[in-house]
Amino acid sequence: MVASRDEKKTLVEMLRWRAAHEGDAAAYIFLEDGEREGARLSFAELDRRARAIAARLQKTTRPGERALILYPPSLDYVASFFGCLYAGVIAVPAYPPNPTRLQRTLPRLQAIVDDARATVALTTEMIAQMADFLAMQSPGLGKLSWIATDVIEADEAALASWTAPQIDEESLAFLQYTSGSTGSPKGVMLDHRTLLKNETLIELGYRAKPDDVIVSWLPLYHDMGLIGGVLLPVFNGCSSVLMSPLDFLKKPQRWLEAFTKYKGTLSAAPNFAFDLCVRRVPEDVRDGLDLSNWEVACNGAEPVRMETQARFSDYFAPSGFQPGAFSPSYGLAEVGLLVSTPERMVEPVELEVEGTMWPSCGRPVGDFEVRIVHPDTLEVCDEGEVGEIWLAGGSVARGYWERPEVNREVFGARLEGSDQTYLRTGDLGAMVGGELVVTGRLKDLIVIRGANHYPQDLEATVEGVDAALRPGCGAAFAWTVEGEERLVVVHELEKDAVERAPHLIEAVRAALVATHEVNPFDVVLIKARSIEKTSSGKIQRRATRNAYEAGTLEVVASARELAEAGEPVAAAPEEAAGAPREERSEAVSEAPHVRAVGEVARWLRVRVAEEAGVSEMTVSLRSPFANYGLGSAEAVGLVGELEEAFGVSLAATTLYDFPTIAQLARHVEMMRADATSSPCATPADAATSQPARRTSATGQEGAVAIVGMACRFPAAEGVEAFWRLLSEGKSGITEVPAWRWKKEDYLEATAVGFDVMVTPRAGFVDGVEAFDASFFGISPREARAMDPQQRLMMEVAWHALEDAGFNAELLAGSRTGVFVGQSGSDFARLYQGAAVRAGTGLSASITANRLSYAWDLRGPSQTVDTACSSSLVALDQAVLNLRAGRCDQAVVGGVNAIFDPQVSVAFSQAGMLSPDGLCKTFDAGANGYVRGEGCGAVVLKRLEDAVAAGDRIWAVVRGVAVNQDGQTNGLTAPNGHAQQAVIRQAWEDAGVDPALAGYVEAHGTGTELGDAIEARSLQTVFGAGRSSGAATVALGSVKTNVGHLEAAAGMAGLIKTALMLSQKTIAPHLNFERPNPACELDGSALDVVTEARHWELAEGQARRAGLSGFGFGGTNVHVVIEEAPAASARADVAQPGLSAYERRRFWPNADQMLDRLAALKDED
C-alpha cells in the first residue's frame, strides 16, 4: 500500500487523505428498496458532507461529547458518523425507535442515551420532527439537542467554518453498544488506534484489495455493518454497496443480485442469511445470477453451521459460487470486529473438539494472542480442550464506557503468575493445530447433571414442536433451584394459539425430554413480539432471564403457573390428599384380583413430584409421565427404585408401556398379587382386548373375499400400473405440479418461519382435477361444487365394481354397503363457489352416501375418519356388516387429495415431513414421511358367496381388529402395547397363529420413533414362539413407493398386499440402506425385502400377510389377509373394462380399445 496512508493516525486523517488522492472514486452506493441505485458517495463527497455536519456540530457541541446517530439505513448515516469524527465528538451509533413498537424500542434507546450521557442526536428532518412526541414517551430523550443533517448544505460557507479536531490515535471515535446475552447495553470504547489496527487486520485476514466490492445489508449501527461495510472502504480504498436489512429479509435475492450487478467480491452475514437465500431464492432467479467474483463470504455473529454453508455452495454452484469463498470468522465488538478467519478462497474445514466436529474459524490474524483458559481454575487448557477464549494484543479495545469494575474483570484478566492482561470474551472454544474453534458462550451454557446443553439447540427443539411457536423467538437459560441448575425456556406464542397454550407447554416439555433428556423447570409462553432482542435480531437470553426473575414477561401461560393452579394436570382433591380411591376403569372392575390403587400410586406421586420439582399436590394419577418431564434416565431410574421398593421385576421400558401413575400402579399391584390366584389379564391387555370373534379358521367361516379392485395412485393409473410400479421397485413421488401451487412461494416465506414447507415433493395423481360428470348423471354446476375426493371416489369405486363384474342394473336396489375412509378436505378450505351446493359437495359424509345414491345401493353407507387408519377402519366396518348379514356385498374405499399448501406447511412446522421428500421406513436415515394422494377401492363379498357365484378372487380377508391407544405420553404418541394387542386380536379373529405369517405390510411412516415402536411391536408378536431356524417374516411399506396417502393409506397397503398374494411375489421395499438401530431388526424375525422375490411357501400352508394402519389420534387397525382358494384365485392383474353412461357413448370407447389392442399387437 501507499506509505502515506499508513502514516495516518486517525480515521479523519485517513478520509482526508483518501479524498485528496482518490476523491472521485465511488466509495458507497445505496440501493433503495434493495434494487434501485438511490445515492452514491465518492470519497470527496463524503469528506465535504462530513465537514459540513461537523461545522454544525462544532457550534453547539464540545469535543468529547457523545452524539447519538439515529437514521434509517442510508448514506446519511455514513455522513453523520464521519461528521461526528470530524467534530471530535464521540459517535454513538443506534437505530431510530419504531413508532409502532415504542414500548419495545424506546427503553433500549433510552438506556443507551443514559449510559453514554449523550447530549445531541443526529438524524433526519422527519425523525427530528418527532422529537417532542418521543420525549413524551421517554422523557430522557427530551434532553437531547436534535439536529437534522439531511438539510445541512455542504456549501463553501459551511466548509470554511469547519475546524479540524484536536484528536489523536488515543481519542475515542465511537461507542459500540453491545447487547446479546450479556444483559444491559454496554458501550465498547473504540479509539482511532483500535479501529485502524482492526482495519489492518481485516485487510490482512481477508486479503482485501482496493478493487474489492463489498455488498452488505447489515445494519449500519452493528459492528459488522459499520466497521466491515463502512470503515473498510476509507481505510482500504475499496467500495461498498449497501442496502437496508429489511429489503434483504423481504427478498433475499436482492443481496445476490447486487453481487451480480456490481461484481461483488466481499461480504459478511450471520449464518441464517445464507440459509435464507437457499430457501428463498428461486431456481430461475439463481440461474440468472453471477456469483463467480465472490471471494469472501464471512459467516459470523451467530453459530456457524457447516451444513448451511454446504447447502449454499451446492445450491448456488450453477451461479458460479465457489465453496472456498466461505470464511467462518470469529470476532467481537470488544476488539473492533475481527479476530480470526480462514485464508481467502480456501475451503473451510471442520475440526474435532472433544468428540464433536466444529467449523474452524481459521488462525488468529496478525499479532492477536489467543489463550484457551479454564474459566474456573484460570489455567491454560490443553490443545483441543474447550475453555474460555482469552485475547491479548491485536486490537483489543480499552474497555467499556464508564464501567471500571467490569473492565477489571473482563479486560484485565490475568493468568496465574503472569502480568499480561487479557480480554475475557465469554466465548467458549479450543485451539486445534493453531486454528480457533468456537463452540458457544460460557454464560449461556447450561449444565444439568453434568451434561452440557447449548441454548440454541434447546431453542430449536422448542420452536419445532408447533407452528404456533414463533421461529427464532425463544430463549433457553439456566435457573438455580435449591442449588441445582435447571432449565427454563421462554418462547413467543402466536395470538391465535393462546387457547392451546397448556397443550403446547406439555408438548414442549415432552420434546425437550425426548430430544435432550432434560426436564425443564419451567416452560413460559409469552405474547408475540415481546421477547428481548438485540439490534441485529439476536435473542437476549440474559435480559429474558432477568425479566423472568423480575416477573415482567408478558406471559400467556407457564408450566409453573398451571401447576400451581392445578391445570391441566392437577390432582383431584381426594387424589391430592393421597387417599386411595376406586378407579372407574372397566379393566379394574372386570379384574376382581386387582386391588384399589393405593400404596404404589402414593409412592409414585411422591417420586414424580421430586423429579419434576413440583408440589406433590399437582401430580395427577392420570397424566402421562412425560407431562412431568421424565427423561429416559429418570424413567429407567424410577423403574429400578420401584423394583427395590416393591419387590417386583420390571422391564426398563415399563414407563412407556404404562405411561401414567394409575396404569403403572395397577400393573405393579397385580404383579405383587398372589401368584397362585386365578389368572387375569394385565391392565393394558384388559383395556385393549376383546373376545376373539372366532376360534378357528375352518373353511369359509367369517372370511371375506376381495372380488374387485381399482385404484388411482401416484404414477399408477389403475391396478395393472400399480403392480408394475411395485414389482419394478419404482417411486411415484414428484414435485408439486405448478397448477396446484408455486413451490417457490412455500419453500420459504416472506416472514421467516411462516408458510414454509420443507419439501415440494409428494405423490400426486395425474388428472385429479378432471371428472366425467355426465357418466354419473351429475350436472356440470354440481360437479364444480363437489370435493374432488367425492369425484375421485365415484370413478374408482365404479371401476372396482366393474372389476367385480357388477353393472348398474345388478346394483340398483341391492343390499350393497359403502364404507369410505376420508379425513379432511383441502377443497373445502379453498372453495369459493356458490354456498347452495357446498352442503353436499363439501361434506365428507356425502362421499359414501353419494355412491349409494348414484347406484341406488340400499346397504349401510358411512364415511369414516380416524386419520391415517380411516380406510382400514372402513374395511373393518364392512367385514362386520357382511358377517352380520346386513349387506350382501360392500364397496370399501379410501381417498385423499392434496390442494391446499397450508396443510403441508402445518405438517412441516410440526416436523412430520421428510425434507428429502422420501419415506425411508425402518432406515437409519428416516426423517419423516412424504405426503401422497390417491384413491383405492375394493369390492367385498362373503367368501362362501363369492365361491358359489364363481367370482375371481384377488385375496381373502381372514381377520381384522380395531383398538385405541388410550392414554399415552401424548395425544399423538404411539402406544407399542396397544399395537401389539390389535395385531394379536386380528390373528385371533382369523383363527390363525401369527407364526404362520409370511409378510407384514407395515404402517411405516418413516419417522425414527414411530418406526422403532412399530418394529418392536411386530417383533414381539411375530417373533414369539418362532424357532431359530424358522423363516423370517418379510417386511415392507407401500409408503416408500407412493408416499403416505393419509386417509387412503390403508387402501394402498391392502391393494398392494392383495396383489402380492395374487402374483405370489413380494415387492421390494424402497429407500432402505441401513436399518434404524432403534428398530432392532438385526437378528430379528423380520426381514426388510429390498428386491422383488418369489413368495416361497411351506408345503400345506397358505400365503398369509398382516397389514397395519395407525391413526395419529391412536386408532389402530390390523388386518389378516390370505391368498384366494386355488380354484377361485385371480392370476392376471390386467383389468380390461369397457363402459359408458349411454349406449351412444359406448361404441366410440370400444373403438378406442380395439385400436389400442391392435397397437399392442404391432409392438409385439
Q: Which of 312, 345, 378 is the last residue of a domain?
A: 345
Confidence band (pLDDT; 50, 70, 90) for 776? confident
Grid cell locating 732: 411415484
In this structure, the answer to whether residues 1078 and 1159 fall within a common structural domain is no
Give the residue-averaged pLDDT of 1109-1133: 92
In this structure, the answer to whether residues 1080 and 966 fall within a common structural domain is yes
Give the residue-averaged pLDDT of 366-374: 96
pLDDT at 579 over 70: no
Structural contact between residues 894 and 870, judged by C-beta atoms closer than 8 angstroms? yes
pLDDT of residue 98: 61
In this structure, the answer to whether residues 750 and 859 fall within a common structural domain is yes
Confidence band (pLDDT; 50, 70, 90) for 773? confident
Q: 568 preceded by cis ω (within 30°)?
A: yes
Confidence band (pLDDT; 50, 70, 90) for 597? very low
CATH number at residue 679: 1.10.1200.10
Write the burial class of residue 828 (CB in 10 Å: 0-12 exposed, 13-18 middle, 19+ buried).
middle
In this structure, the answer to whether residues 8 and 112 fall within a common structural domain is yes
Residue 693 forms part of a structural domain: no
Task: Express each pLDDT in 1027-1076 by its tens digit.
Answer: 667 789 999 999 999 999 999 999 999 999 999 999 999 999 999 999 98
Collapsing DSSP states into helix, strand and coil, what is residue 110? helix
Task: Express each pLDDT in 731-753 by its tens digit.
Answer: 999 999 988 888 887 876 543 44
Q: What is the DSSP letter of 929?
A: B
Q: How does the average pLDDT of the chain come out, rounded?
A: 85
In this structure, the answer to whether residues 607 and 741 fall within a common structural domain is no
CATH number at residue 889: 3.40.47.10
Residue 456 forms part of a structural domain: yes
Give the residue-averaged pLDDT of 205-215: 97
Parallel, antiparallel, or unpaired: how do β-strands 296-299 and 66-70 relate?
Answer: unpaired
In this structure, the answer to whether residues 621 and 491 fall within a common structural domain is no
In this structure, the answer to whether residues 718 and 761 fall within a common structural domain is yes
* Percentage of the chain exceeding pLDDT 70: 86
Among candidate residues 106, 55, 117, 44, the one with its CA nearest the CA of residue 80 = 55
Secondary structure of 636-668 as H, E, C letters? HHHHHHHHHHHCCCCCCCHHHHCCEHHHHHHHH
97-102 contacts at long range (C-beta below 8 A, 24 or more positions apart): 97/134, 99/130, 101/529, 102/134, 102/137, 102/138
- The residue range of the domain holding 493 is 446-565
pLDDT at 684 over 50: no
Measured CA to CA, the distance from residue 810 to residue 55 in angstroms comes to 100
Which amino acid is present at 1007?
T
In 209-265, the DSSP E strands lie at 213-216, 239-243
pLDDT at 442 over 90: no
Looking at 351-431, list the stretches that DSSP marks H as alpha helix, in order from N- to C-terminal side.
404-410
Of 58-67, 292-301, 834-843, the poorest mean pLDDT is in: 834-843
pLDDT at 879 over 90: yes
Helix axis angle, 1049-1063 to 870-883, nearest 10°: 70
pTM equals: 0.49
Measured CA to CA, the distance from residue 782 to residue 771 in angstroms comes to 12
pLDDT of residue 745: 79
- Name, in order, each residue with C-beta under 8 angstroms of 1132's C-beta and a sequence gap of 6 or more: none
Q: Which of 410, 434, 458 is the last residue of a domain?
A: 434
CATH number at residue 390: 2.30.38.10
CATH number at residue 478: 3.30.300.30
pLDDT at 573 over 60: no
Task: Express each pLDDT in 905-944 by its tens digit.
Answer: 888 877 789 988 999 999 988 988 999 999 999 999 999 9
Residue 1128 forms part of a structural domain: no
Residue 1055 forms part of a structural domain: yes
In this structure, the answer to whether residues 812 and 672 fall within a common structural domain is no
Collapsing DSSP states into helix, strand and coil, what is residue 304? coil
In this structure, the answer to whether residues 205 and 317 fall within a common structural domain is yes
Q: Which of 565, 583, 617 is the last residue of a domain?
A: 565
Residue 355 forms part of a structural domain: no
In this structure, the answer to whether residues 377 and 460 fall within a common structural domain is no
pLDDT at 1137 over 60: yes
Grid cell locating 1094: 418369489
Residue 809 forms part of a structural domain: yes
Provide the domain count of the chain.
6
In this structure, the answer to whether residues 58 and 20 fall within a common structural domain is yes
CA 530-533-538 angle, to 5 degrees, is 135
pLDDT of residue 441: 75
Residue whose entry in the numeric block shows the C-alpha cell 406439555? 506
Question: Greatest CA separation found in the chain?
Answer: 113
Grid cell locating 803: 372389476
Of 334-343, 693-702, 1069-1078, the poorest mean pLDDT is in: 693-702
pLDDT at 148 over 80: yes
pLDDT at 791 over 60: yes
Among candidate residues 897, 899, 883, 916, the one with its CA nearest the CA of residue 1048 = 897
Write the burial class of residue 127 (CB in 10 Å: 0-12 exposed, 13-18 middle, 19+ buried).
buried
Residue 352 forms part of a structural domain: no
pLDDT at 337 over 80: yes
pLDDT at 223 over 80: yes
Most confident listed range (381-385, 848-852, 1098-1102, 1137-1141): 381-385
Residue 669 forms part of a structural domain: yes
Q: How far apart are the first and last CA of the chain?
A: 79
Of 114-123, 162-171, 464-473, 617-626, the poorest mean pLDDT is in: 617-626
CATH number at residue 230: 3.40.50.12780
- Name, in order, each residue with C-beta under 8 angstroms of 344's C-beta and a sequence gap of 6 or more: 206, 207, 295, 296, 327
Higher pLDDT, 45 or 97: 45
H or E stretch at 1163? helix 1143-1163
Which amino acid is present at 722?
F
In this structure, the answer to whether residues 656 and 544 fall within a common structural domain is no
pLDDT of residue 585: 31
